[in-house]
Amino acid sequence: MSTESVGMEFLETRRRKLVMVYLPLLVFLFVLLFPFYWMAITSFKPNNELLSREGNPFWVIEPTLAHVKKLLFDTAYPQWMWNTVLVSVVATFFSLVASVLAAYAIERLRFSGAKQTGLAIFLAYLVPPSILFIPLASVVFQLGLFDTRLALILTYPTFLIPFCTWLLMGYFRTIPFELEECALIDGANRWQILVKIVLPLAVPGLISAGIFAFTLSWNEFIYALTFVSSSEYKTLPVGVVTELVEGDVYHWGSLMAGALFGSLPVAFVYSFFVEYYVSGMTGSVKE
Amino acid sequence: MFDRLQNSRNALGLIFMLPAAVLLLLFLTYPLGLGVWLGFTDAKVGRPGEWIGLENYIYLAGDSVTQLALFNTLFYTTVASVLKFFLGLWLALLLNKNLRFKSFFRAVILLPYIVPTALSAIAFWWIFDAQFSIISWALMKMGLIDQYIDFLGEPWNARFSVIAANVWRGVPFVAITLLAGLQTISPSYYEASAIDGATPWQQFRHVTLPLLTPIIAVVMTFSVLFTFTDFQLIYVITRGGPLNATHLMATLSFQRAISGGALGEGAAISIAMVPFLLGAILFSYFGLQRRAWQQGGADK
């Protein structure tokens, strides 16, 4: 049924392939992409078109920037965007550093207990934020970090480090031992080996882990919802969900614009690193 | 002294592990233990709790909203996971064919998975709107229904609506990871079975499926894990309503602990999810074991 071999392909006629492969694929594509189209078109629709059942809702007759303008100037949206960028970048950077060191120690230094530590890291990866957020909220409170961006920068690594370490362990495993042995004989110490030999070879792994960690932080919701309460420290997803919904009157235009512009940065980053992202995702479940 | 340190694997290992270990112990292991403890106390926001034993759990076991949330969670997880598996496998098989623009398809299909779930959930909220839903509009025009569907106002409609949103988000993950698994299967198996006269269905049943089983086990474990503990979709689309019909364990624990201030009770609800998660992880563990003998390794 799913054969890659060229020798078999001719057995499938063109027409059959059109109906059996391209047609379902197009349906999948339509369903998967429609919400984005709908987000985009709603963002630029004037209210009278939004709230009418007449005409063709799939198109916009008089596009307007009113919703975008409202978002940018009447809400704290730019501030949420900045918070999200700041928290994501800093949390990703620190998690990567900690993960590189941890993964190298587990895979290559092989200290006693390295295997068990590796397993513990994997188990930590399986702890979902939604069973952790209540006690974590009380920890954040005790540390006096409640309602700060630092609370998020410090708690995001709890899901970023296990993931990145696990991914990088897989990458480090593919680097031949002999390279390190040569360097050791030439008098390099462990730190030099890590920085000058292992890291340059693991660049694809670092990019995968970095991209993945960045999108995970950008998309994080439950911690940001629980640990931050003032508008000026909120992240984008939380800000849009909690502050743009006012009472019973839903401002669909600005809500959709908020969702659209909050999704674009990750989609943009992703589009440059699709291959790294996919290899990170498949790598994380493969080992 | 410094030289000796540099050559001792254990000392160096400890130093390298330090940043990750400190963060994880402080913000993961400790809270996990604290959560178990809180579940046995009557802690409220701003007030440390006293040990009350199993009282929270006994209360929750008799609480009709909690029972409903447990049912919802199991229903949501089962239906969504089954749908994600079949649709994801189908999509993976489609993408595994010789296609034009294959890498384009693959890249675009992942979009629902990479954008913030809370934001795409808002789009679904709008798509499911009672008065202006585009789905209702389209069905009306086609003449299939004669009044707008109340997607989120009626319990069973709401349940299936949030499941649809969850499946939409999860299918790309299942499809792309299964596709990676499919691509590791050597074409020679298909050639050999074709020479033996196997039909496409037999090839799928006796070549593809057995070789894919290990990765299916892992992917579905992750999928079940994340579906069972889902929070964002429900919080954004329905907040657990109507009449708690879509409350999951995670959203209920948030409501009780953070909105309601009953930290102990909320923690108990979270901890009650753990046995189910352990079940899912064990399932994955045995799935991985199967891989060892399939690759010619020894059974452990």
Q: How confident is the model at residue B296 (pLDDT cuts 50, 70, 90)?
A: very low
pLDDT of residue B166: 96
DSSP assignments along A174-218, one per residue: TS-HHHHHHHHHTT--HHHIIIIIIHHHTHHHHHHHHHHHHHHHH
Judged by DSSP in three states, B116 sits in coil
- Region(s) of chain B under CATH 1.10.3720.10: 43-294
pLDDT of residue B97: 86
The whole-number average pLDDT for the span B89-112 is 88
- Region(s) of chain A under CATH 1.10.3720.10: 70-286
Instruction: Report the DSSP beta bridge partners of residue A246.
Output: A249
Q: How confident is the model at residue A77 (pLDDT cuts 50, 70, 90)?
A: very high
Q: How confident is the model at residue B274 (pLDDT cuts 50, 70, 90)?
A: very high
Contact A248, B115 (CB under 8 A): no
Q: Do B132 and A50 make contact, defined as CB atoms within 8 angstroms?
A: yes
List alpha helices for B229-262, DSSP H.
232-237, 249-254
Phi then psi dihedrals of residue B170, to 5 deg: -90, -25
Question: How far B40 CA lies from chain A's nearest CA (Å)?
Answer: 13
Q: Nearest to residue B210, comparing CAs of B283, B291, B89?
A: B291
Euclidean distance between CA atoms A283 and A271, whole angstroms: 19
Euclidean distance between CA atoms B48 and B32, whole angstroms: 17
Residue of A nearest to B219 (CA): A285
Euclidean distance between CA atoms B270 and A147, whole angstroms: 23
Residue of A nearest to B116 (CA): A219
Q: Do A2 and B204 make contact, defined as CB atoms within 8 angstroms?
A: yes
Buried-state track B24-38, b at ≥16 Cβ within 10 A, e below 16: beebbeebbebbeeb
Give the range among A54-68, A112-126, A192-206 with minimum mean pLDDT. A54-68
Question: How far A231 CA lies from chain B's nearest CA (Å)?
Answer: 17
Element (H, E) at B162: helix B155-183
Q: Nearest to residue B119, comparing CAs of B111, B109, B130?
A: B111
Mean of the per-residue pLDDT values for chain A? Answer: 87
Chains A, B: CB contacts under 8 A, how many?
292
Q: Nearest to residue A212, comparing CAs of A96, A83, A61, A54?
A: A96
Give the range among A224-233, B58-67, B135-144 with minimum mean pLDDT. B135-144
Tens digit of each residue's pLDDT (9 = 90 or more) over A215-243: 999 999 999 999 999 999 999 999 999 88
The whole-number average pLDDT for the span B135-149 is 87
Contact A67, A43 (CB under 8 A): yes
Q: How confident is the model at residue B5 (pLDDT cuts 50, 70, 90)?
A: low
Tens digit of each residue's pLDDT (9 = 90 or more) over B176-215: 999 988 988 888 999 999 999 888 889 998 889 888 888 8
Partner-chain residue, chosen from B117, B120, B229, that has the shortest CB–CB distance to A131: B229
pLDDT of residue A274: 84
Q: Do B110 and A278 make contact, defined as CB atoms within 8 angstroms?
A: yes
Tens digit of each residue's pLDDT (9 = 90 or more) over B232-259: 999 999 988 888 999 999 999 999 999 8
Backbone Cα Rg of chain B: 24
Question: How far B63 CA lies from chain A's nearest CA (Å)?
Answer: 20
Partner-chain residue, chosen from A219, A225, A282, that has the shortest CB–CB distance to B176: A282
Is it the case that residue B133 has pLDDT exceeding 90?
Answer: no
The whole-number average pLDDT for the span A97-116 is 91
| Domain made up of A70-286: CATH architecture | Orthogonal Bundle (1.10)
pLDDT of residue A9: 55
Residue of A nearest to B262 (CA): A134
For the domain spanning B43-294, the CATH number is 1.10.3720.10
The torsion angle over the Cα atoms of residues B163, B166, B168 and B170, rounded to 10 degrees, is -130
The whole-number average pLDDT for the span B82-101 is 91
Percent of chain B with pLDDT over 90: 52
Q: Do B27 and A154 make contact, defined as CB atoms within 8 angstroms?
A: yes
Residue numbers in B near A256 (CB within 8 A): 122-123, 126
